[in-house]
């Protein structure tokens, strides 16, 4: 019988998309929720997930109308919104307001959409996305927000920009390494001569979202997040998409990924090869420094890499350590509850691995305890929640997924070639500190 | 050293300029996120060994488990295995949230045999009012002998507590009398995060019943048998528990304010008088004052003439305590009544104020950060101390050295003589090393309109 007790919040809730809004320069989210809902999510997804900061409109200064609890209704929340919108328009430098409604608005059935439509007609740059927390986790919330933004904000354009790619990869803030990863992916794509439409993080803007239909390709790098959006964009604007189901980590995977992208464009072969050559040279030059360590026989060295993360992170890591570093994969505990329609594809990706979908994080410990009976050294890649478990099992531990806890992440990445080198440093430092 | 935002000061500052009418400025909403007592309560209750806390909510509502867990691990050097959630989902919302809670409590009791179960319930998810939720939990209680308690601070409080007309929960009052301890002993309630004053009390030969994060459940259930209660720190729960014991069980409760030199001395001597050991406490006072006096003198020398602006919420004495400490450190406090300046303002409810602080002032805790910026810019302090939800980073980006005191609901640190010296040293360090802040100010990253940045919401008025 399934346990009725759950623990270790890792997936947060769909209202976590407030952090995705924060990741778009010039967009302000207006949380139409209780004040603590917005603050708790900031605390879990940003502050306690690598100290990612408040940014411009987020964090503890996130705009929130506040809502009364059911027992003491004072004002209807739709009465609060006009005042907040009018004030923000006068005080804040912004290009887009995103009204996000949570559980309470949904339960009491407020027609926020009608209020927002009224203001949009009146010329306010405002959209509304309904994100009740009980309806799903932050990955789903992110996807729903992106679809809402495209539906309500992005208009068709006939101007095509050759070589422009919309990059859909990490979920901002939820993946604590998102900004570094996006920068690395951008660097790689620009390296082969493409232009990257930066939709989140450094260099992003609300205008970039307006440019979405001008792109020649939507590039989705994730097992499932962003796929439905890319499908929507293909239907609305006819833009093709390339779905690369795991983040490229290490040279081999990066080269394979870039080659696939190249086939969508007419990139001169020489330019492409020259870039790859340089990447390869630099990557292996650095990698060779660690060779003595990698090949050494040491009883501490892991004979399996277990991972507890969303499938985006876990699968990417597993492929890298197996294919590039030759370290056998262990168990992959996937925590992001991917929609049913993507499960087959994710299973097929992970043929070589033992994938376990986790509904309740408390189920993980008994399974790993059983696994550790063989006494073989291993490393556990996971979140802040998993560190004590690793200690208990005698495994090395590397924090790679949300929530990271009390760590600082500024621009660290683990994808591409330079990110992979950084990942290896962290990985081996964790092993050596055992 | 000039502050980089001085280009804004060059703009004509007028109380009603750039398209803002007086009425608009007065009616601008509070629109930021907020801490709530529920968080500090979670932090406190989840650290009572032998008990279980269940959050009856969706996974997102449990995002604050992480900081709570961090503190638990630091305190006990192990993970907290007794902090749970019901992870309500859409199906539960449609078909009813009672069953998941009943199942969770049953499983918790059967698996862990706890001494008590606390339930933090998110009413919006359950679609219930607080009163309905309390009734539901009382209904569950009928099946168990151990206390099943609705975890809300106002469960302990009197009906007049703030604007929420929730009556005190008799279940909590009963808990305090579950255990029996004979003899004379005193409750010591401190849920702040600074052990400074507690360390001093430990030196005295008094039979304490210590109630602080990490204390065992026995300390709670024996508390109604105490001779008296002392509560200090500025955390709501301690105050409420002390008051509840006095109200329900006639245990005299004494609030202490061990902040600053004089405050600490008074608190120690008051404790001595109450607990019948005054000479011992006098010895502690003498020894501590001799120990810390040179450091305090040095802090005062380094801070001479410095203007320190505290932006504090007025929870449970945080602001008054901070003002006392700043006065003892000899700094200039802009906006204090001693300055004898009248200010015209759009920040508070009053049109003019003679001080920023206290009930007669601006009630800074209820002013949004986007409005407080005006005050910070106008005052140009050497350091800003922030214990407020959303203004610290903005102060820093204005180029003003900023000391942020996080988690307002977890109380004010800097207790006792050591706390005062620590505060002085931090402030002096910031005054003497403003490099980071000055550099931050060179990067104009404010998301506010220029007109708003130039808008004055506070100015000196000619008397």
**pLDDT tens, B152-207?**
765 555 444 444 444 567 888 999 999 989 999 999 999 887 889 999 999 999 99
Tell whether A218 and A193 lie within a shared domain.
yes
B449:A406 CB<8 A: no
Q: Which of A13, A83, A107 sits opposite B127 (nearest CB)?
A: A107
Closest C-alpha to A194, from A249, A254, A128, A264? A264
Identify whether residues A427 and A343 lie together within a single domain: yes
Same structural domain for residues A353 and A421?
Answer: yes
Q: Which of A126, A153, A180 is the last residue of a domain?
A: A153
Q: Around Cβ A115, how many Cβ atoms within 10 Å?
A: 21
Among B16, B33, B99, B409, the strongest candidate for a mutation testing the A interface, having the largest count of A CBs within 10 A, is B33
A264 and A312, same domain (yes or no): no
Q: Which residues of B touch A38 (CB under 8 A)?
A: 33
Which CATH number covers residue A404?
A: 3.40.50.1980
B79 CB near a chain A CB, below 8 Å?
yes
Domain end (from A124, A153, A182): A153
Is A3 a domain residue? no
Residue holding tokens 């205008």?
Answer: A207
Same domain, A132 and A109: yes
If asked whether residues A208 and A308 sit together in one domain, one would say no
Q: What is the pLDDT of residue B107?
A: 97
A103–B124: do the CB atoms touch at under 8 Å?
A: yes
B104 lies within 8 A of chain A by CB: yes
Alpha carbon dihedral B293, B294, B295, B298, in 10-degree steps, equals 120
Contact A102, B455 (CB under 8 A): no
For chain A, what is the domain count?
A: 3
Give the A:B interface size as CB pairs under 8 Å: 215
Residue A197 domain-assigned (yes or no): yes
Q: Is the pLDDT of residue B13 over 50?
A: no
The residue from A286, A309, A343 where one domain ends is: A286
Among B35, B63, B393, whose Cβ lies nearest the Cβ of A12? B63
pLDDT of residue B2: 35
Quote the pLDDT of residue A61: 80
In a domain, A77, yes or no: yes
B66, B136, B376, best to mutate vs chain A, most A CBs in 10 Å:
B66
pLDDT of residue A72: 45
Tell me the shortest Cα–Cα distance from B302 to chain A, in angstroms. Answer: 32
Which residues 71-100 of A are in CB contact (within 8 Å) with B?
Answer: 71-72, 80, 83-84, 87-88, 90-94
A182 and A126: one domain?
A: no
Question: Considering only CB atoms, which chain A residues are within 8 Å of B128?
Answer: 70-71
* Among the partner residues A45, A54, A405, nearest to B70 by beta-carbon distance: A405
Residue A135 contacts B where some CB pair is shorter than 8 Å: yes
Residue A205 lies in a domain: yes
Q: How far is it, in rounded angstroms, from Cα A184 to Cα B354?
A: 55
Residue A83's pLDDT is: 84
Look at residue B408 and tell me whether its pLDDT is greater than 80: no
Same domain, yes or no: A234 and A253: yes
Asked if the C-beta of B112 comes within 8 angstroms of chain A's C-beta atoms, the answer is no
pLDDT in tens, B83-140: 999 999 888 888 888 899 999 999 999 999 999 999 988 767 666 677 788 889 999 9
B340 CB-near residues (< 8 Å, 6+ apart): B354
Residues A269 and A313 in one domain: no
- Pick from B88, B104, B164: CB nearest A134: B88
Q: Which residue ranges form the domains of chain B, and what is each CATH number? A: 6-30+299-461 (3.40.50), 37-162 (3.40.50.1980), 186-290 (3.40.50.1980)
The reported pTM is 0.92
Inter-chain residue contact A44 with B79, CB threshold 8 Å: no
Q: What percent of chain B stands above pLDDT 70? A: 88
Residue A96 sits in the same domain as residue A147 = yes
SS3 A223: coil
Chain B residue closest to A384 (CA)? Answer: B66
At B215-256, the pLDDT tens digits run 999 999 999 999 999 999 778 788 889 989 999 999 999 999
Residue A188 placed within a domain:
yes
- Domain span at residue A59? 14-153
Task: Return the structure tokens found at B434.
Answer: 């403003």
CA-nearest of B64, B181, B42, B185 to B119 is: B42
* pLDDT tens, residue by residue, B385-398: 998 867 888 899 99
Which B residues 254-293 touch A at CB under 8 Å? Answer: none
Identity of the residue in B35, B87, B393 whose CB atom sits nearest the CB atom of A6:
B87
Asked if the Cβ–Cβ distance from A87 to B65 is below 8 Å, we say no
Instruction: Please judge whether A64 and B389 are an interchain contact, meaning their C-beta atoms are less than 8 angstroms apart.
Output: no
- Residue A159: inside a domain: no
The complex's ipTM works out to 0.93
Of B20, B85, B389, the CB nearest to A9: B85
- The answer, for A257 touching chain B at a CB cutoff of 8 Å, is no
- Cα separation, A315 vs A319, whole angstroms: 6
Residues with Cβ within 8 Å of B350's Cβ and at least 6 positions away in sequence, in order, are none
Q: Is residue A250 assigned to a domain? A: yes
Per-residue pLDDT tens digits of chain A, which is 434 residues long: 789 999 898 999 999 999 999 999 999 999 988 888 888 899 899 999 999 988 777 777 888 887 655 544 445 555 678 888 888 988 988 899 999 999 888 888 888 899 899 999 998 999 999 999 998 999 999 999 999 999 999 998 778 899 999 999 999 999 999 999 999 999 999 999 999 999 999 999 999 999 999 999 999 999 999 999 999 999 999 999 999 999 999 999 999 999 999 999 989 999 999 999 999 999 999 999 999 999 998 888 999 999 999 999 999 999 999 999 999 989 999 999 899 999 888 888 777 789 999 989 999 999 999 888 888 999 999 999 999 999 999 999 999 999 999 899 999 999 999 999 999 999 999 999 98
The beta-carbon neighbor of A6 closest among B64, B85, B447 is B85
DSSP-based three-state secondary structure for A260:
helix
Spatial CB neighbours of B94, under 8 Å, sequence gap ≥ 6: none
Per-residue pLDDT tens for B304-330?
A: 999 999 998 776 788 999 999 999 999
Residue A310 and residue A196 share a domain = no
Interface membership of A224 toward B (CB under 8 Å): no
Do A322 and A306 share a domain, yes or no?
yes
- Please state the three-class secondary structure of B75-96 as a single string: HHCCCCCCEEECCCCHHHHHHC
Q: How distant is the Cα of B202 from the closest Cα of chain A, in angstroms?
A: 31
Quick check: is A1 in a domain? no
Angle between helix B318-328 and helix B261-275 axes, rounded to 10 deg:
120
């Amino acid at each position: 019988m399934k346990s009725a007790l759950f623990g270790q919040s890792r997936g947060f809730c769909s209202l976590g998309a407030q952090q995705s809004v924060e990741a778009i320069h010039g967009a302000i989210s207006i949380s139409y929720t209780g004040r603590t809902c917005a603050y708790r999510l900031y605390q879990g997804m940003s502050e306690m997930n690598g100290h990612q900061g408040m940014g411009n409109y987020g964090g503890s200064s996130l705009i929130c109308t506040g809502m009364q609890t059911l027992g003491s209704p004072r004002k209807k929340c739709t009465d609060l919104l006009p005042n907040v919108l009018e004030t923000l328009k006068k005080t804040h430098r912004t290009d887009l307001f995103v009204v996000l409604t949570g559980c309470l608005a949904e339960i009491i059935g407020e027609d926020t959409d009608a209020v927002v439509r009224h203001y949009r007609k009146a010329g306010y740059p405002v959209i509304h996305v309904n994100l009740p927390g009980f309806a799903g986790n932050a990955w789903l919330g992110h996807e729903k927000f992106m679809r809402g933004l495209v539906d309500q904000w992005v208009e068709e354009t006939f101007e095509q920009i050759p070589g422009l790619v919309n990059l859909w990869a990490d979920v901002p803030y939820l993946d604590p390494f998102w900004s570094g990863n996006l920068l690395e992916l951008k660097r790689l794509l620009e390296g082969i001569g493409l232009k990257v439409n930066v939709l989140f993080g450094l260099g992003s803007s609300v205008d970039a979202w307006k440019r979405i239909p001008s792109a020649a390709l939507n590039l989705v790098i994730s097992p499932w997040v962003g796929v439905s959006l890319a499908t929507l964009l293909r239907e609305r604007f006819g833009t093709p998409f390339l779905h690369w189901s795991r983040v490229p980590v290490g040279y081999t995977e990066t080269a394979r990924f870039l080659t696939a992208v190249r086939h969508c464009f007419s990139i001169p072969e020489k330019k492409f090869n020259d870039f790859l050559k340089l990447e390869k040279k630099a990557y292996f030059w650095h990698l060779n420094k660690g060779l003595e360590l990698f090949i050494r026989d040491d009883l501490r060295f892991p004979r399996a890499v277990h991972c507890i993360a969303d499938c985006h992170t876990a699968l990417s890591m597993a492929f890298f350590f197996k294919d590039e570093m030759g370290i056998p994969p262990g168990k992959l505990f996937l925590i992001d509850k991917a929609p049913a329609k993507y499960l087959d594809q994710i299973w097929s990706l992970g043929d070589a691995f033992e994938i376990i979908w986790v509904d309740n994080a408390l189920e993980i410990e008994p399974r790993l305890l059983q696994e550790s009976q063989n006494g073989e050294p291993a490393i556990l890649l996971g979140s802040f929640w998993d560190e004590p478990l690793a200690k208990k099992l005698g495994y090395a531990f590397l924090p790679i997924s949300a929530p990271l806890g009390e760590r600082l992440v500024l621009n660290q990445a683990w994808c591409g070639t330079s990110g992979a080198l950084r990942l290896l440093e962290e990985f081996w430092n964790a092993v050596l500190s055992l | 050293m000039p502050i980089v935002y001085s280009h804004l000061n060059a703009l004509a500052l007028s109380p009603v300029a750039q398209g803002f009418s007086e009425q608009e400025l007065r009616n601008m909403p509070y629109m930021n996120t907020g801490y709530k007592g529920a968080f500090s309560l979670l932090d406190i209750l989840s650290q009572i060994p032998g008990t279980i806390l269940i959050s009856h909510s969706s996974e997102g509502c449990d995002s604050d488990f992480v900081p709570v867990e961090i503190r638990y691990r630091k305190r006990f050097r192990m993970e907290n295995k007794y902090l749970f959630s019901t992870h309500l989902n859409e199906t539960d919302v449609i078909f009813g949230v009672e069953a998941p809670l009943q199942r969770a409590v049953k499983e918790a009791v059967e698996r862990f045999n706890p001494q008590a179960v606390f339930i933090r319930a998110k009413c919006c998810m359950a679609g219930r009012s607080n009163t309905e939720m309390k009734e539901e939990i009382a209904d569950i209680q009928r099946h168990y002998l151990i206390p099943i308690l609705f975890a809300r601070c106002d469960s302990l409080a009197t009906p007049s507590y703030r604007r929420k007309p929730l009556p005190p929960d008799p279940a909590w009052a009963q808990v305090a009398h579950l255990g029996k301890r004979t003899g004379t002993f005193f409750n010591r309630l401190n849920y702040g995060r600074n052990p400074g004053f507690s360390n001093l009390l430990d030196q005295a030969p008094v039979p304490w019943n210590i109630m602080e994060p990490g204390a065992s459940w026995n300390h709670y259930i024996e508390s109604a048998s105490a001779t008296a209660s002392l509560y200090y720190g500025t955390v709501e729960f301690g105050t409420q528990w002390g008051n509840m014991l006095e109200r329900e069980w006639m245990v005299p409760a004494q609030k202490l304010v061990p902040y600053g030199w004089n405050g600490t001395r008074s608190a120690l001597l008051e404790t001595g008088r109450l607990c019948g050991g005054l000479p011992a406490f006098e010895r502690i006072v003498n020894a501590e004052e001799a120990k810390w006096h040179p450091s305090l003198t040095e802090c005062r020398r380094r801070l001479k003439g410095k203007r320190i602006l505290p932006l504090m919420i007025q929870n449970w004495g945080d602001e008054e305590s901070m003002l006392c400490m700043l006065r003892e450190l000899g700094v200039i406090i802009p906006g204090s009544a001693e300055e004898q300046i009248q200010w015209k303002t759009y920040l508070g409810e009053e049109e003019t104020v003679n001080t920023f602080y206290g009930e007669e002032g601006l009630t800074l805790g209820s002013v949004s950060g986007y409005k407080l910026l005006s005050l910070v810019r106008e005052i140009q302090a050497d350091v800003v101390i922030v214990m407020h939800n959303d203004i610290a980073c903005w102060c820093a980006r204005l180029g003003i050295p900023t000391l942020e005191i996080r988690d307002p609901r977890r109380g004010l640190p800097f207790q006792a003589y050591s706390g005062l010296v620590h505060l002085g040293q931090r402030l002096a360090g910031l005054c003497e090393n403003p490099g980071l802040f000055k550099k931050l100010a060179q990067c104009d990253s404010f998301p506010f309109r220029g007109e708003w940045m130039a808008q004055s919401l506070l100015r000196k008025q000619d008397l």
